[in-house]
């Protein structure tokens, strides 16, 4: 379900950008629909709303800020270049995670892990050099989203409380929405009021425009919700491999659906990058497993 929703979201999202290229506003819509969904779910008690206090709010705010920044930058990239290319760049996320763990958190990252990231960097570089839809806006914004999501995972570890994942994600969405609204108003507001909405409605009609925005918001929220719920239920290894395969799915489907022409080098680069992420995920998950076994042995 997570893959299925993710693929549909990516395809619908890009189709909207083809006639309505306003990523800051669309990012707000994604979160707005999700927040609406959360509020309705809470009102009917599915799930029961977990109470939030000042301390928890202080823990979740940096997570939500990074979530908002990563989300908006991903969308700027999706609007600027081919979906498959954005996902290839986003395969670099483990590299940023490893760097942040070593240099920000002070964790020792073993050499084997660093070496497994070499193919990821090489693959992404190869794919970028010959990507036909390449532009710097798309590339840089995808890179910024990598950094933002890396910090999100660091802060998330600190904010891991007793609250269930559905409630945590709901609160993060609400706080992130407040971060996303001001840039959307300042950066795209004037153009949207002048001709953005008018042009989109002229191209596809009011009903299709509104229903497209609603459904991409819905699919965005549900796929993230399912990803969070999956993480809660499976071992790190399963989730890591799952994430890699998700990129393969999305890249494959987007190339088929949009008929993106990709050069041989871009294709090879993408495959190398994904293979590198798979090796990295396996090594990392094995380390986690070893740690868990060691901890269990000590406690028993």
Q: What is the pTM of this model?
A: 0.84
CA distances from 196 to 30, 78, 82, 200, 201 (A): 18, 18, 22, 6, 9
What are the per-10-residue average pLDDT scores of the chain (300 residues)?
A: 88 94 96 96 89 88 94 94 85 81 80 85 80 87 91 74 81 95 96 94 95 96 85 66 75 82 83 85 82 82
Give residue 38's pLDDT. 94
At 175 the pLDDT is: 96
Rounded CA gap, 24 and 75, in Å?
Answer: 7
Contact call for residues 140 and 73 (beta carbons, < 8 A): no
pLDDT for res 237: 58
Read off the tokens for 213. 């925005």
SS (H, E, C) 7-54: HHHHHHHHHHHHHCCCHHHHHHHHHHHHHHHHHHHHHCCCCCCCCCCH
Evaluate whether 130 touches 266 at the Cβ level (below 8 Å).
yes
Q: What is the pLDDT at residue 161?
A: 65
Predicted pLDDT at 145: 94
Q: Which of 79, 64, 272, 281 is nearest to 174 (CA)?
A: 64
pLDDT of 83:
85
Cβ atoms of residues 79 and 17 within 8 Å: yes
pLDDT the model gives residue 236: 60
């Amino acid at each position: 379900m997570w893959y299925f929703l993710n693929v549909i979201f990516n395809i619908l999202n890009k189709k909207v950008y083809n006639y309505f290229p306003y990523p800051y506003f669309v990012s707000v819509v994604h979160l707005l629909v999700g927040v609406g969904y959360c509020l309705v779910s809470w009102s009917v008690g599915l799930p029961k709303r977990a109470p939030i206090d000042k301390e928890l709010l202080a823990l979740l705010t940096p997570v939500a800020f990074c979530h908002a920044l990563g989300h908006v930058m991903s969308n700027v990239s999706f609007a600027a270049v081919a979906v498959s290319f954005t996902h290839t760049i986003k395969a670099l996320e483990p590299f940023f995670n490893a760097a942040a763990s070593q240099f920000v958190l002070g964790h020792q990252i073993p050499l084997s892990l660093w070496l497994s990231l070499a193919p990821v960097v090489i693959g992404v570089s190869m794919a970028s050099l010959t990507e036909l839809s390449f532009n710097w806006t798309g590339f840089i914004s995808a890179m910024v989203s990598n950094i933002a999501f890396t910090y999100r995972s660091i802060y998330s570890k600190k904010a891991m409380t007793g609250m269930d994942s559905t409630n945590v994600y709901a609160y993060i969405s609400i706080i992130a929405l407040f971060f996303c609204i001001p840039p959307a108003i300042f950066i795209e507001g004037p153009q949207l009021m002048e001709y953005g909405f008018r042009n989109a409605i002229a191209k596809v009609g009011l009903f299709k425009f509104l229903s497209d925005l609603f459904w991409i918001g819905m699919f965005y929220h549900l796929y993230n919700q399912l990803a969070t719920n999956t993480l809660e239920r499976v071992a790190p290894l399963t989730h890591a491999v799952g994430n890699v395969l998700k990129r393969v799915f999305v890249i494959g489907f987007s190339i088929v659906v949009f008929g993106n022409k990709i050069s041989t080098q871009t294709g090879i680069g993408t495959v190398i990058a994904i293979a590198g992420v798979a090796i990295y995920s396996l090594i990392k998950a094995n380390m986690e497993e070893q740690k868990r076994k060691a901890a269990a042995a000590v406690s028993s």
